[in-house]
């Protein structure tokens, strides 16, 4: 493309950065990857919650004191909060058109999701290590 006005920038330089951010495929792929991981993890979580539903604190501590259960729970928490963040981002980007509030909401969702994921995982580790 040629321009009539003189410019030091090349045609390619003008066009760069105007297209997509090229991150859509990674977002799409991570959403699917976390979804696939969540199928068995969710089944396991539901079974765990059913098993723990009639019992108190002690049963919870014993259950997540086992390395396999602590591992699966930490995986569930990490993957589920990541999946939630990715999904909420799509919803926000679809429905919030104003640039500032869209960015602010996406940042808020990221902070809350990864903050709570960390808090929950540390909580499971605290129990797993028998504090």
Partner 1 sequence: MSTQNRPLSPHLQVYRLPLTALMSITHRMTGVGLTFGTLLLAWWVTAAAYGQAEYAQVQAFLGSWIGLILLLGFSFALFFHLCNGIRHLFWDFGQYFELHETRRADIFVLIGAAALTAATWVMVL
Cβ neighbours of residue 77 closer than 8 Å, sequence gap 6 or more = 117, 120, 121, 124
User: Of 1-9, 19-27, 96-104, 123-131, which part binds partner 1 (CB under 8 A)?
Assistant: 123-131
Smallest gap from residue 101 Cβ to partner 1 (A): 17
Cβ neighbours of residue 2 closer than 8 Å, sequence gap 6 or more = 11
Q: Which of residues 47-76 bind partner 1 (CB under 8 A)?
A: 50, 53-54, 56-57, 60-61, 64, 73
Which residue, chain included where needed, has tokens 């640039």? 99
Q: Does 25 bind partner 1 (CB under 8 A)?
A: no
d(C-alpha 88, C-alpha 80), whole Å: 12
d(C-alpha 22, C-alpha 104), whole Å: 21
Question: Which residues here bind partner 1, judged by CB under 8 A?
Answer: 32, 35-36, 38-39, 42, 46, 50, 53-54, 56-57, 60-61, 64, 73, 77, 80-81, 84, 87-88, 91, 109, 113, 116-117, 119-120, 122-124, 126-127, 131
């Amino acid at each position: 493309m040629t321009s009539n006005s003189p410019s030091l920038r090349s045609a390619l330089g003008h066009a760069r950065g105007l297209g997509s951010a090229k991150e859509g495929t990674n977002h799409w792929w991570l959403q699917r990857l976390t979804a696939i991981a969540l199928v068995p993890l969710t089944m396991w979580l539901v079974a765990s919650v059913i098993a723990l539903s009639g019992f108190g604190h002690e049963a919870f501590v014993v259950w997540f004191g086992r390395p396999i259960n602590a591992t699966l729970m930490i995986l569930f928490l990490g993957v589920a909060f990541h999946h939630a963040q990715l999904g909420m981002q799509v919803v926000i980007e679809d429905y919030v058109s104003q640039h500032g509030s869209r960015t602010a909401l996406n940042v808020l969702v990221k902070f809350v999701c990864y903050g709570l994921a960390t808090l929950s995982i540390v909580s499971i580790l605290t129990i797993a290590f028998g504090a």
